[in-house]
Amino acid sequence: MSDKNYSFFGAVERSFDKAARFTKWDSGLLNHIRQCNAVLQLRFPIKRDNGEIEVIEAYRVQHSHHKTPCKGGIRFAAEVNQDEVMALAALMTYKCTIVNVPFGGGKGGIKIDPKKYSVGELERITRRYTSELIKKNFIGPGIDVPAPDYGTGEREMSWVLDTYVSMRSGELDAAGCVTGKPITQGGVRGRREATGLGVFYGTREVCNIPDIMSKLSLPLGIENKRVIVQGLGNVGYWAAHFFQLAGAKVIALAEYEGAIFDEKGLDVEAVFQHRKKSGSILNFPGAKHIKHANEALELECDILIPAALENVINEENAPRIKAKIIGEGANGPLTPEADDYFAKKGTIVIPDMYLNAGGVTVSYFEWLKNLSHVRYGRMEKRFTENVHSSILNQIEELTGKKSNAHARELIMRGPDEVDFVYSGLEETMINATHEIMTVWKENPAIPDMRTAAYVVAINKVAIIYAELGIFP
């Protein structure tokens, strides 16, 4: 298996086909599911600050309309091309399906290196792109809902929203046309840490499955597990933070400038602050340096979380990786060759399509918040606190014992928005884990968890078409 001449979309199709063999669906239906339903190619002009006109290349792909709206980020990168946007849109369909988020997959891309443009130029590009999407009916709370991706964030999502609102004046649900917005513009609390938190919940759930842990000769649970994280960015930092909070030992952290190691466990927040201050992860007090950052991936550990880049684990270094569990925080950190290697070796690879779905899950919560026009917790927080208070008072009166101030505060507390978001995400990741594991257990010929995840996704999309009667 060393034909590497497949495109990114080709690689997704390849994984799809590998899994489709384990489903019962007709080849015509499977072929329909794989294809992108709509591909929008755009070329539009913008005026640079120096007065020159530049033609911008951009895309929006809606991979699947089995559920609407479509959902997926907008990427600003010099490498953007149609094949990549199609592949990412397809992965979004499967990702949303796996975590039971009722969207079809979508993705957008603008072929620019954002570092080479001023803020004013980026704003003009984002606004023009949005107005092109509006003209083509490729954006809207019930049509297609973008979000941040590489090179974009809350700022760009604000521009998308403002452009949409100004062109669709009076549309009641307009705030739901994009997610990943700042809280002041309809964003949801907990969105920023959502992907890293989802990585933690998903990995923890796998570590709670007795069969898997006994096959790996590891004790159940997350406590004291030795974890290595590559990338201290949005996904890696939050994942490492939540692992440490749950009692795991983050023994190594790798960044592009190098890696550090401490068998006793690193203080993630202290490392993060040290890097912020000094500009480097290196020279953290008490930690050992690892000469080449990538060597950190090869250290003895229980859980390895690559959360930086794609293709960092490939056929060259896979044989040196000692982790028993690899949790794909990043998109595509393993090449198909590495994947095949670990499937044979028995290493559990928790696939990106499922493990890093926390972002889109919480985007779904943001979209629901926008459609309901009310902050989570606003209606019930005070009521819940009053009920809890009455119950506690009754218990204290009947038993004649007073609870201490800390316990009282814990019991009394009504939920805030962030509590709903965290618990909704936790429930989502736990359910998704068990859906994937059940399919894998029922069909032991399935080689790995990624293929099992694809089987779950294909079945859920196919059943919708089958029930619609489109395919007998």
Q: Which residues bind ligand NAD (CB under 6 A)?
A: 195, 230-236, 254-256, 293, 307-309, 329-331, 356, 359
Residue 271 beta carbon to ligand NAD: minimum distance, rounded to whole angstroms: 12
Residue 331 beta carbon to ligand NAD: minimum distance, rounded to whole angstroms: 4
Nearer Cβ to ligand NAD, position 150 or 465? Answer: 150
Nearer Cβ to ligand NAD, position 293 or 301? Answer: 293
Cα–Cα dist 151/232, whole Å? 17
Residues 301 and 251 sit within 8 Å (Cβ to Cβ)? yes
Residue 411 beta carbon to ligand NAD: minimum distance, rounded to whole angstroms: 34
Task: Return the residue nearest ligand NAD (CB atom).
Answer: 233
Nearer Cβ to ligand NAD, position 176 or 180? Answer: 180
Residue 172 beta carbon to ligand NAD: minimum distance, rounded to whole angstroms: 28
Residues 32 and 465 sit within 8 Å (Cβ to Cβ)? yes
Nearer Cβ to ligand NAD, position 20 or 355? Answer: 355
Residue 30 beta carbon to ligand NAD: minimum distance, rounded to whole angstroms: 26
Q: Residue 333 gets which letter from DSSP?
A: -
Nearer Cβ to ligand NAD, position 308 or 449? Answer: 308
Residues 100 and 137 sit within 8 Å (Cβ to Cβ)? no
Q: At 418, is the secondary structure helix, strand, or coil?
A: helix
Nearer Cβ to ligand NAD, position 307 or 321? Answer: 307
- Among residues 222, 148, 205, 141, the alpha carbon closest in space to that of 428 is found at 205
CA 334 centroid distance within chain: 16
Residue 181 among the catalytic residues: no
CA 359 centroid distance within chain: 4
- Among residues 348, 341, 343, 355, the alpha carbon closest in space to that of 323 is found at 348
Residue 233 beta carbon to ligand NAD: minimum distance, rounded to whole angstroms: 2
Buried b / exposed e along 85-104 (16+ C-beta atoms within 10 A): bbbbbbbbbbbbbbbebebb
Residue 244 beta carbon to ligand NAD: minimum distance, rounded to whole angstroms: 17
Nearer Cβ to ligand NAD, position 141 or 359? Answer: 359
Residues 306 and 269 sit within 8 Å (Cβ to Cβ)? no
Catalytic residue among 67, 71, 95, 107: 107
Q: How far is CA 143 from CA 70, 116, 124, 176, 422, in A?
A: 6, 32, 23, 10, 27
Q: Which residues pair with 46 in a beta bridge?
A: 54
Residues 355 and 202 sit within 8 Å (Cβ to Cβ)? yes
Element (H, E) at 61: strand 53-62
Phi, psi at 42, each rounded to 5°: -125, 145
Q: Which residues pair with 38 in a beta bridge?
A: 62
Buried b / exposed e along 367-392 (16+ C-beta atoms within 10 A): bebbeeeebbbeeebeeeeeebeeeb
Residue type present at position 459:
N
Active site residues: 107
